[in-house]
Amino acid sequence: MPLPPRILVPLAAAFAFLGLALFIMSGRTFAFDTGLILLFRQAGDPATPIGPQWLPEMMRDISGLGSFVGLGFMTLAAALALWLAGYRRLAVALVVNVVLATLVSTLLKIGIGRARPDVVEPSAIVLTASFPSGHAFLSAVVLLGIAGFIGLASRHRDITRLSIGLAWVLMLLIGVSRIYLGVHWPSDVLAGWCLGIAWSSLSLALAGQGMARAEPASARTP
């Protein structure tokens, strides 16, 4: 009997991340990394991103949404909304989930220690190692987590689908912006997405089980 998509997708994502991490830790590189970065640069001028003058600025703005400040504000706003709406378990779970993911992201970067791309001039300042992309990983954890927790609280499929759809769009844009700005290898971003999808799926499953076991008062409509 085939596994349902809600299990198959995060499971595949987890194995994909593990494969990418082992490959990078072995000292090897992906041929597509350099090619994809150069696709976002002017031919013969790797220091200049493609597109009109406003596009690099827009990409920096999008990238900023995946920063500690951007994602932290989103997490705080969502947690406060859940708390005030009466879903205090979900509010606490959301904050704990993001804090743990941030810690794991930091440890992975330190442990793997991959250098940032050196084939183009980066269009943003970076202070940490490259693998996995913290913006990609944490944006997946935060955005998919918020969308999923909203779905658990609302119990409306349409709201859940809309929230998850918007989360996916923004998550993908943030990851692409990091490649466009030349601060991450594409494989860094892909690994961040894979780990974030697996992480958020597990956290939502645990949160859903927690709600099912919670006292009836926590399930009342605020």
Catalytic residue numbers? 135, 184
Go through 139-157 and write b for each residue having 16 or more CB atoms within 10 A of its CB, e for each that does not.
bbbbbbbbbbbbbbbeeee
Q: Which residues pair with 42 in a beta bridge?
A: 45
Radius of gyration from C-alpha coordinates of the chain: 19
Calpha distance 173→46 (Å, rounded):
21
Fill in the amino acid letter for 149.
F
User: Left, alpha or beta for 51 (phi > 0: left; psi -120 to 50: alpha)?
Assistant: left
Cα distances (Å, whole numbers) of residue 77 to 114, 140, 157, 189, 194:
33, 17, 22, 26, 25
Residue 42 — φ and ψ, nearest 5°? -60, 140
Contacts 24+ apart (CB under 8 A), 10-16: 10/197, 10/198, 10/201, 10/202, 11/198, 13/193, 13/194, 13/195, 13/197, 13/198, 13/201, 14/194, 14/195, 14/198, 16/190, 16/191, 16/194
